[in-house]
Amino acid sequence: MSGLIKSSLARKYVMALSGLFLVIFLVLHVTINLASVISPDFFNEASHFMGYNPLVQFLMQPILILGVVIHFVMGFVLEIQNRKARAINYVKYKGSANAPWVSRNMIYSGLVVLAFLVLHFYDFWIHEMSYKYVEALPEDLTRYYHETVEKFAPFWRTALYVISFVLLSLHLWHGFASSFQSMGVNNKYTPGITKFAKLFAVVVPLAFAFIAIYHHLNPITH
């Protein structure tokens, strides 16, 4: 029994750690993407650096993809565990009385973010891999800005992105704050950390949505 509890705690820990790692990635990603609105030149430079620096490409990128895979696989494992536990205690379990909607439906908000990532990888990552390694086209320091802006020309893509960011916000609203709890952090800073996590959960997806909508409304015309 204690082994079971320990392994379930270990799973929660891994979930929290991989989630926090992805949060750090989101900070970097939203910062670079905001540059596409403020300074196209800086956006081009940063994107080129991220795309061609060997440390980023062959160390950070595989670690990031591993982080995403671990987070999703562990998310499914935890969901299955929770469902089994609920089935055993179904008489006592009254979901809505015990936890808010967002926290009980992390699997669904997570699945929408996963579906978004499939579209997003198709939009940007596959294109990058094909440009660099399949077609082996020459380096072009100026292509990133217009490639990104052009992606948001269709309304359907901009809308799908924005809907996904709303679900990302709900996912972070519960996930970011509770990750500290899962790692056993409970001290006088906890209320402050929780407030910060909730603010982050609103501001970052809002910034992503702003970028998508801005490029949709301001297409490159020449």
| Site residues (vs ligand HEM, CB under 6 A) | 29, 33, 47, 50-51, 61, 64, 68, 113, 120, 124-125, 128, 148, 161, 168, 208, 211-212
By beta-carbon proximity to ligand HEM, the closer residue of 170 and 212 is 212
Cβ(51)–Cβ(57) under 8 Å?
yes
Residue 16 contacts by C-beta under 8 Å, 6 or more apart in sequence? 178, 179, 180, 182, 183
Q: How far is the CB of 210 from ligand HEM (least distance, A)?
A: 8
Q: How far is the CB of 146 from ligand HEM (least distance, A)?
A: 12
Q: How far is the CB of 211 from ligand HEM (least distance, A)?
A: 4
By beta-carbon proximity to ligand HEM, the closer residue of 61 and 105 is 61
By beta-carbon proximity to ligand HEM, the closer residue of 85 and 159 is 159
Q: How far is CA 210 from CA 4, 48, 145, 150, 193, in A?
A: 44, 23, 16, 16, 25
Q: How far is the CB of 3 from ligand HEM (least distance, A)?
A: 34
Residue of minimal CB distance from ligand HEM?
Answer: 124
Residue 183 contacts by C-beta under 8 Å, 6 or more apart in sequence? 13, 16, 17
Burial (0-12, 13-18, 19+ Cβ within 10 Å), 198: middle
By beta-carbon proximity to ligand HEM, the closer residue of 40 and 51 is 51
By beta-carbon proximity to ligand HEM, the closer residue of 200 and 208 is 208
Q: How far is the CB of 166 from ligand HEM (least distance, A)?
A: 11
Q: How far is the CB of 85 from ligand HEM (least distance, A)?
A: 28
By beta-carbon proximity to ligand HEM, the closer residue of 76 and 93 is 76
Distance between CA atoms of residues 132 and 159, nearest Å: 29
